[in-house]
Amino acid sequence: MSTARRQLAVLYSDISTRTQTIAAEHTWWPCKKGCDSCCKNLAAPPAFTPLEWEVLWEEFTQLPLATQHLVRDRVAQLAPNPTPGPVPTPGAVATTPAQGENPPLNTHPPTTEPRYTCPFLNVESGACLVYASRPAICRTYGFYVQRYEGNWCNQILHEVTHREQLVLWGNQETVDSTLRRLSGLPISIHDYFALKSQ
């Protein structure tokens, strides 16, 4: 295993520790197996760093051939004009919170924007077909915040806004900078599948 792969594994482990801690401290947290709202409401087709794709691809090629063909068909059908509909609106963090405080959250009504469904989603079970190798953004969504914006659905936004409980969020900016250092900029799912088809 390369040094970069080992460092990515450490990053994934650190993310898992943070998300599991948040879920354990707040039993109402909605991010559980079978909740696929974020997977069905992507703002754009998936795009991951080359190293994340490399890890994901190894698991993808172990899927049954019929499942691989299904995913490939879904990727090909990711049209420039996705299905319109309500999407989970990110909550905006107005200021950097002081230690021991939740970030102030701006509530926004659901927006009507284009949406995409992740090709790796098992739509029957609501589970991910490559869960063990899913990229960082799939692991951090709902649990991590950037300086001025959180990545979460309206359900999390509602719960956090109405519950007086401290949430020790993960730092998305640190994750993003680590990924850039390890592997560079993201590659779209269209480009990566096209590369693997050559």
Q: Is the pLDDT of residue 102 over 60?
A: no
Tokens 């801690």 belong to 21
Q: Is the pLDDT of residue 189 over 90?
A: yes
Q: Name the more confident of 38 and 114.
A: 38
- Gap between the Cα atoms of 29 and 22, Å rounded: 8
- Gap between the Cα atoms of 154 and 87, Å rounded: 9
Concatenate the DSSP letters of all residues of 130-141 into one string: TGGG--HHHHHT
Whole-angstrom distance between the N-terminal and C-terminal Cα of the chain? Answer: 25
* All structural domains of the chain with their residue ranges: 3-196
Q: Is the pLDDT of residue 98 over 70?
A: no
Residue 144 parent element (H or E): strand 144-145
- Max mean pLDDT among 20-29, 81-90, 96-105 falls in 20-29
- Output the pLDDT for position 106: 45
- Gap between the Cα atoms of 151 and 132, Å rounded: 21
- The CA distances from residue 129 to 62, 64, 71, 186, in Å, are 11, 11, 9, 21
Please answer whether residues 59 and 133 qualify as being in contact, where contact means their C-beta atoms are separated by less than 8 angstroms.
Answer: yes
- Gap between the Cα atoms of 186 and 51, Å rounded: 9
Q: Is the pLDDT of residue 95 over 70?
A: no
The structure's pTM equals: 0.81
